[in-house]
Structures are given as structure tokens and as C-alpha cells.
Structure 1
Amino acid sequence: MIALAMVSGLLYFAEIMKDTILQRQLLFIERMPMIRLIATDIDGTLVEEAAMNLNPEYFDVIREFRKRGVLFVAASGRQRNSIERFFEPIKDDIIFLSENGACITSREYKHVDVMDPFIVKSIMEDAMEIPGCTCALNDGETSYFDSEMLYRHMKDDYGYNAVMVDDLFKVEAGVCKVCLCSTTGMRKMR
């Protein structure tokens, strides 16, 4: 697994070994005392794709980072509430970068970068012309679906706050992310 650490404007990569997570991370921090922020992806890095649980050893690592003045950022394309569940015991001590960077949330701060409605509509219109393509809209708290299959997948497998709608074009929430999903496979969409 790879964790990304920001050090005085330089990017360093640290290999995290599951069997001795805490020792390896503390050794990494001791050797790199100028590290002030560590950001990591969730799916495929800290957990397997679509997993719903995080190895509890990571909580000790993140607590130790905090004691040493290092901020921890959990970054994902997932909805904030979906990734927040992984970190429930320590959620107030970390920063969440969700919706592919459109939402930044911490205990003291929340920002959602809302897309221009004209751009959202244009993306959706273009996507609707692709055979087998469906869309979902995210507002930072809720995802809106018009596909039952995609709705079930994101709600059941990823723990999303999800709402079924008859017409995505009528969603009035401030959209921060438009998701495109192919029911026929990505290679055929190209």
C-alpha cells in the first residue's frame, strides 16, 4: 500500500506493511521530522475496493501522527459519510477529502465546491447519448440516482446516502460531482 506524505512542498511515498503498521509508520515519521501532513487514498490503498471496514491498527497510527503534530487526510472519490464510517473512533481528528476532492471536511471546517449547473446539465446530456451510460449526481451529502442497479450498488456496497429520483435533470441540490457509469463496460464507451 502507498501513503502520500507532503513534506515542505515535496512528495514522499511510504510503503505501509499491514503486519507492522504502527512500527513502520513511526519509524517513517522519526526519520522525516518535517512531515506535517499525510494523505492517503482509501479504496485499493488502505482497504480493498468496496470494503466497509478498516484495520483498527490504523487508528493507533493516526492517533500517534496527531500527537506528533502530523495531520492525516483520508482522500477518496467516495461520499464523505462513506469514508467517515471507516474512521468512526477518530473521525474528529482527521480531515476528509471526498467526492474526488470536491468536498473538504474536518471537525472545524466544511467546504463543497459546487459545479456550474450549466456544466452539470451539459455533461449529463452528453452522457445520455452514450449507449449503456447512466449518471449519478452528488451534492457532498447525498447521491441521486435514476438507475436502480447503480443506486443499490452504491447504497449497499459503499454505504452511500442515496436517493432514487425519476429525473436527474430535476435535482435541485448544488452538485459537486457527476458520476458516469457504463452498464456495458468502460472499453465500449471509448
Structure 2
Amino acid sequence: MDLSKIKMVVTDMDGTLLNSKHEVSNRFFEIHDALKKKDIKFVAASGRQYHSIIEKLEPIKNEILVIAENGALVIEKEQELLVTPIQQDLKDELLDALGKIEGAHAMLCGKYSAHFDGKSAEFLGQLKEYYSNYKVYENLYDVTDEIVKIAVYHNKSAETYIYPAVKSLEHLLKVKVSGPNWVDLNHADAHKGYALEKVMRQHGVSSDEILVFGDYNNDLEMLQLSNFSFAMANAHPNVKKVAKYETLSNNDFGVEHILEKLL
């Protein structure tokens, strides 16, 4: 495996760069300094909101590119490079459908703030990990913000309880099981692969020059863009099928392990 041509490193956050305590290792920040000296660009690509990603990567926030909300928002140095919102006329239709799923809690994700309804209040302690900027509404139908993603949470299993109920919407939207408890609904063009392809074109980077890490179904499209795609040991089986290589788990510094080989 010859990594000598790599110009860009792209990694998912939860289950990939972050350990199970949602932490970025000091080891990674040291590695990033070495990547920077070699002019290798770092991209964080996550289903998280922009501010939540930046909080995790605060020491290097002005040196990286961020793909947030599953690719619906791309920002570099506080400048918006791409915004792909959900069609406004679909929002109420989606809220109607999601309201019929027992145990589901929907969040409307604006570019910089998430919107919860009062029924999700008991889960706010958990949800704050992913949505640091948020507002609570009595009725989500009252939200007028431009929405880039609808995230749906289930405390048992998103794949079992939420995905079957929204699978029929896949002709209208990008529907992704993004974690054990989450299903994300985005504009059909708003996914990590679409956003990363734009970033690669802008920076003149080819499939041979990019290293990509992921662990869940919302990473599939971006993994397919790289000849050096890595599934984490803890990855969903679908990811292991698509990725060309496998690394250690997120708790065993799987990303750092490969980046040290790159350096």
C-alpha cells in the first residue's frame, strides 16, 4: 500500500476519529501538526452539526475543512462552500410521517442550530453531545429556519424501528442509518460523497491522493471516492464491504494507526 501520493485525509467523527467517550485523542492533534507540515489537507466529515464538530477539533478549527450534517453543509475557515437544504414543501410531510413512529424523536437541523420539540426534552442530555447549538419548540411545524437535515433518534435501534418506516421516502430524499440510534433525512444530493466530490474537485485531488475513514452507512458514498478507503474494525458490515482496507477500532486509535503509516 503506497500512500506517498496522499494530499488529503478525510475522516468521519463518531465511531471513527472519536472514541466511545466522544473524545479526540491528543495523539491525533500531534499527527495533524505533522500532516500540516507535509501540506496534507484534513477534512472532518460527519452527520454532526458544524458547531459540534468544531468543538471537538477546536485547536485546529482554522486549519481544516468541515463537511457537516452528512454533506448538506461544507465550511472552511467560517466560509460556506456548499449548502444543500431540504425542500421546504417536504418538511411538514416528513414531520407527519415521523410523528407516527412510536418512540421516535425528530430534530430539524438548520445550518447552525438544531430545533427540538418539547417531547424530546427528556433526551436533551444525550442529544447535547451531537447538537451543541439548539432551540426547543412546542411545535416543530413553527420552525421557519432553512433546514439542511432531519435527524431522527430512537433509544433502542434506529435500524429496526425508524428505517423501515421511512424507507419508502428514498425516492425523495437521502435516507441514512447514521448510527445505532439515528436515521438522517437529507436532500437527495446532500450526502458525504456529493460534498467530498465537490471538495476534491476544488482542491484538485484525485482518488489516488485521498485517504478516507468511516464506520457507518452515511460514510458509504465518500468511501467509494477513494482508492485508499478504510473501514474501522467496529464498522457496520455494509462499510466493510465497500471499503478497500480495514483498520483498528475507534477505541484502538484506528485512524491514528494508518496516519502514522502515511507519515
TM-score (norm 2): 0.56
Paired residue for 1:122, among 84, 87, 93?
93
1:182 deviates by 2.6
| Larger Rg, first or second structure (1 or 2) | 1
Higher relative contact order (CA 8 A, sep 6+): 2
Percent identity (aligned)? 26
Range that drifts further, 179-188 or 145-154: 179-188
* Unmatched tracts of structure 1, length 5 or more: 1-27
SS at match of 1:44: helix
Deviation at 1:68, TM superposition (A): 1.3
Once the two structures are superposed, what CA deviation does each residue of 1:107-152 show, in whole Å capped at 9, x if it has no partner?
1631322111112222111111222222100112111001102333
- Identify which range, 143-152 or 94-103, moves more after superposition: 143-152
Shift of 1:73: 0.5
* Equivalent AA in structure 2 for residue 119 of structure 1: L
Aligned residues: CA RMSD: 2.0
1:142-163: CA deviations, max 9, x gaps?
Answer: 11001102333212x3352111
Cα offset for 1:173? 0.5
Checking the alignment, whether the CA contact within 8 Å between 1:138 and 1:178 is kept in structure 2 is yes
- Given the alignment of the two structures, is residue 45 of structure 1 paired with residue 16 of structure 2, yes or no? yes
* 1:4-153 alignment runs, 5 A limit: 31-49=2-20, 51=22, 53-107=23-77, 109-110=79-80, 111-146=82-117, 147-153=120-126
4+ runs deviating over 4 angstroms: none
Q: Structure 1 length normalisation: TM-score?
A: 0.76
**Do 1:39 and 1:75's aligned partners in 2 also have CA atoms closer than 8 Å?**
yes
- Distance in 2, matches of 1:92 and 1:75, equals 15
Aligned residues: 159
Partner of 2:210: none
Tell me, what secondary structure is at the counterpart of 1:144?
strand
Quick one: structure 1 residues 171 and 104, their matched pair in 2 at CA, closer, same or farther if it must change by over 3 Å? same
Match of 1:169 in 2: 141
8 Å CA contact 1:145–1:168 kept in 2: the answer is yes
Change (3 A) 1:126 1:108: closer
Deviations 1:25-62 (A, max 9, x none): xxx8xx523211110011111112461x3111211211
